[in-house]
Amino acid sequence: MTLLEYITSYFESIPSLHRTLLLVGGLTFFWLIEGAAPLFTFDYKKWKHARINIFFTMTTVLVNFSLAFLLLYVSEWTQLNNFGILQWTQMDGWLYLLVGLLLMDLIGAYLVHYVEHKIPWMWQFHIVHHMDQEIDTTSANRHHPGESVFRLIFTCLAVWIIGAPVWMIFMYQSMSVVLTQFNHANISIPSWLNRILVAVFCTPDMHRVHHHYRRPYTDSNYGNIFSFWDRIFRTYQSVPNEKLRYGIDTEMNPMHAASIPYMLKIPFTPYKKPPVYDHEESL
């Protein structure tokens, strides 16, 4: 069995336990690194902060688990009907895997994230993620349950357009879980290592800019796994991380950012349009 065949076989029937271990193991791993080599020293109780984010992580898991049948249905339909980019182009081998993962990340992560920042009613759900004023690895899956639903819909759209098989979906989701925990982690990475990694992947140094509390930096660096979508679509911004301040300027009350009931109600309250500053004012 070749390496590619092994990867295909493993992710085609990846045990639920392994997927759980990726989620819990990743959080634990980056949590420990944050303790040993943090970038920022937050004045907060780490476990209290984590409790809020883990609540939203659990709602994300619940939504994804409940609606997973949609992904499986769409994938099965594309395979039976020879539908999607991967089927039409007759790619195979490692090129098939690479192109599939790239397009899954483009549509299922970058595109939906970009749209969330441009459509007010979608932003109302996404703002829960941006209200966190102490970004660490637990912030990775801090999503309103409503946002989790339309993120899954975009993933279904990606599967349909691409014609992705089930094993590719599970591989993409596994990579996405680990990379989003990594790029939200409050860890200090040597600049030389960041330069190497950010050429391909979204690193903490890159993604932190997206969590700055003011636009235009909030509207940048949308990527999740791969960093080059932001460069291709000119949404990439580079800022010394030490100058960043987390949160979103329309919701800077720390009590609101720590209130689960308040955040669950935000999508159903009047829209607050974030002001736009020039780059110097924003910092």
Per-residue pLDDT of 190-238, as tens digits, reads: 999 999 999 999 999 999 999 999 999 999 999 999 999 999 999 999 9
19 located within any domain: no
Answer whether residue 47 shows pLDDT above 90.
Answer: no
148 located within any domain: yes
Question: How sure is the predictor about 16, in pLDDT bands with cuts at 50, 70 and 90?
Answer: confident
22 located within any domain: no
Contacts of 159 by beta carbon, 8 Å cutoff, 6+ apart: 71, 74, 75, 78, 84, 104, 169
130 located within any domain: yes
Cβ(184)–Cβ(136) under 8 Å?
A: yes
Report the C-alpha gap between 15 and 11 in whole angstroms: 9
Which residue stretches of 37-92 are H helix?
A: 46-66, 68-80, 85-88
Answer whether residue 96 shows pLDDT above 90.
Answer: yes
21 located within any domain: no
Per-residue pLDDT, 128: 96
Per-residue pLDDT, 184: 96
Q: Residue 94: exposed, middle, or buried by beta-carbon count in 10 A (0-12, 13-18, 19+)? A: exposed
Phi-psi region of 163 (alpha: psi -120 to 50; beta: other; left: phi over 0): left
83 located within any domain: yes
- Domain count for the chain, please give it: 1
Q: What residues make up the domain containing 202? A: 43-282
pLDDT per residue as tens digits for the range 174-187: 999 999 999 999 99
Which is nearest to 101 in space by CA: 239, 4, 15?
Answer: 4
Answer whether residue 40 shows pLDDT above 80.
Answer: no
Which is nearest to 187 in space by CA: 42, 22, 3?
Answer: 42
246 located within any domain: yes
pLDDT per residue as tens digits for the range 132-189: 999 999 999 999 999 999 999 999 999 999 999 999 999 999 999 999 999 999 998 9
Answer whether residue 4 shows pLDDT above 90.
Answer: no
Query: In Å, what is the CA distance from 253 to each residue of 26, 40, 161, 203?
Result: 30, 20, 41, 28
233 located within any domain: yes
Answer whether residue 99 shows pLDDT above 90.
Answer: yes
